[in-house]
Homo-oligomer: A and B are copies of this chain.
Amino acid sequence: MNDIKQFLRSNALRPTKQRIIIAGYLFDGTNKHVTAESLSTELAKRKHTISLATIYNTLHDFYENGLLKKLTLSADRVYFDTNTGDHHHFYSEKEQFLIDINKKIKVNGLPKTPKNKKINKIEVIVHLDK
């Protein structure tokens, strides 16, 4: 609890009730993939009612501060990942199936990066079916 407060403060985030609850859930040591909606549902199960607007705000605040990764897997919702390390994903759109690939992956054969640009990150998504 106090460590969560410290954690938030050390990331320039005022430790409000809501942020403490959300951070407590997200950063409990196990990696998670959440959407605003799934997070809201999860918190509701724990009898915490935080407005959706705040959930969106908080996810973005955490993201802006590098505490979450944003995943663009399907066009109809945004996923946030508590695993901020360099990693990739198995994903099934149909089944909402999503798991981390933590093994080091090498991408070979990339062409020259376009002029005046630089690579920000390389995202590998392995789409799965049944």
Interface residues of A (CB under 8 A from B): 72-78, 90, 92, 97, 99, 101, 103-111, 113-114, 116-130
Residues of B within 8 A of A106 (CB): 107-109
A123 pairs with B124, CB closer than 8 A: yes
Report copies per complex.
2
A116 CA to B122 CA in the complex, in Å?
27
Q: What is the distance, in angstroms, from A125's C-beta to the closest C-beta of chain B?
A: 4
A73 CA to B78 CA in the complex, in Å?
11
A114 pairs with B128, CB closer than 8 A: yes
A107 pairs with B110, CB closer than 8 A: no
A113 pairs with B101, CB closer than 8 A: no
Q: What is the distance, in angstroms, from A69's C-beta to the closest C-beta of chain B?
A: 12
Partner of A117, one of B78, B111, B116, B130: B130
A122 pairs with B126, CB closer than 8 A: yes
B105 pairs with A105, CB closer than 8 A: no
B111 pairs with A119, CB closer than 8 A: no
Q: What is the distance, in angstroms, from A112's C-beta to the closest C-beta of chain B?
A: 10
